Structure 1
Amino acid sequence: MSRVRVGCGATVLLTLREWERLAALPEPGNEVEPLHWCELEPRHGGLHFAFGQQSGEDAWWVVFDLGAPARRELQILVGCSAAAEEADELGDRGVCTLAADHAGGHSFEIALDTGAGRSVPVLLPALPDPAALTAVQQHNHAVLAAAGLTAATYLQMESLQHQESRFGVISTRHLGLQTNVAVPRLACLAADTSGLAAAVAQGYLAVPGPRTRPPVVADAQLADSAVVHLTDTGRALLARLQPQLQD
């Protein structure tokens, strides 16, 4: 996961290929996890930047566009050279941990409310143009957005729930995948599915297995996807939302 959640609620879920690439880098500075948060200040402009891995002197970042999930790239970026003018209570001058030429304030200038029970709201891609939607579609999009979901991710979660009802929650055989041990039913979804990372960030979906070791997938097409399963929180959300949605 990103080193610090500094206020921007944009999230990105690594593909299996991206995860394996970062995990295989020499001289790693941290363990790679699949979910990353943008580290820029809230409401910044432009692309989002999530720290991925430190490899020796190289800082790898995940650069992504929340509105166009397929627009994403792993980049080695030079660090920002800014330092705080005043020392803190320990006598240290904070240094900016962001990439050079970043948007918005420096990391040491960004205040994050870390009070009990508070968290950074998860950002969703912009809703479709209401003028292009029917009244029913507008209603359903609003219900899903209030729960932190996009329509695309909701449909994937509903499909997973349907597979669970037909074939059971725990299995070694999944849609296009097989596991050595029985695990919650998996789905290999396109990593650019709108809102997928946000659903993982909120605990509706989860990435299986040890968080720091990506599943091994030989198929090239699957390697550009992300493997997830429904959680109890996700199942409860589906049960709550289904009566609210209109046909």
Structure 2
Amino acid sequence: MPDQMRCPHGLRFPLTLLDQLRRIPYGANEINAVGWCSLVEGHSGPHHALGQSGGEDDHWVRWTDAGIEVTVLPFCPTVMPEDEDQPCTLFDGHEGPHDYELEDYPTTVDQRFAAYYWAPPAAN
């Protein structure tokens, strides 16, 4: 049973970013208006949420208080030792434990996560 918590930071994606994610060729994922950081709680550096998988690429939304960007990052090559069909779903070189070593995401946004929800400033 994973015992390490995921980063509680979330981001409401601006409409321009949602449009950019929807236009990725061969998109395999449903686009959500909110992304939650996929890394371990307390990580250093920017937050990362998978925005879309298209073809052979994963398009990650990366953000800090200073800005947001979409970037293509290579897959993490690690698989779960006891189940080789269970890959790490993070990007290569990610900080901290692999995805399968972290707690599952909550099915609803609870107070712990809601306290860290960040919406970018509205465009003028």
Band the TM-score falls in, shorter-chain normalisation: 0.7 to 0.9
Is 1:85–2:92 an aligned residue pair?
no
Hey, which of these two has a bigger chunk of helix by percent?
1
- Residue correspondences, number: 119
Hey, which of these two has a bigger chunk of strand by percent?
2
Find 1:109's aligned residue among 95, 101, 114: 101
Question: Displacement of 1:112 after TM fit?
Answer: 3.6
Q: Which amino acid aligns with 1:121?
A: R
Give the aligned partner of residue 121 of structure 1: 112
Is 1:44–2:40 an aligned residue pair?
no
Indicate the SS of the match to 2:80: coil
Q: Which has the higher contact order (CA 8 A, sep 6+)?
A: 2
Question: Displacement of 1:93 after TM fit?
Answer: 4.2
Deviation string 1:9-40 (CA, Å, 9 cap, x unpaired) is: 11111111111111111111012121110111
Unaligned runs of 5+ in 2: none
Change over 3 Å in CA distance of 1:108–1:15 after alignment to 2: same
Question: Displacement of 1:108 after TM fit?
Answer: 1.0
Deviation string 1:120-151 (CA, Å, 9 cap, x unpaired) is: 72253xxxxxxxxxxxxxxxxxxxxxxx8xxx
Q: Calculate the aligned-residue CA RMSD, in Å.
A: 2.9
Change over 3 Å in CA distance of 1:55–1:8 after alignment to 2: same
Contact 1:36–1:50, Cα closer than 8 Å, also in 2: yes
Paired with 2:19 and 2:109, the residues of 1 have a C-alpha distance of: 32
What TM-score does the superposition give when structure 1 sets the normalisation length? 0.43
Unaligned runs of 5+ in 1: 1-5, 125-147, 154-190, 197-220, 223-247
Structure with greater Cα Rg: 1
Q: Report the identity percentage.
A: 28
Q: Which amino acid aligns with 2:102?
A: I
Give the aligned partner of residue 17 of structure 2: 18
Instruction: Describe how 1:58-77 pairs up with structure 2 within 5 A.
Output: 58-65=57-64, 68=65, 70-77=66-73
Q: Runs of 4 or more off by more than 3 Å in structure 1?
A: 116-120
Q: Which amino acid aligns with 2:32?
A: E
Indicate the SS of the match to 1:94: strand
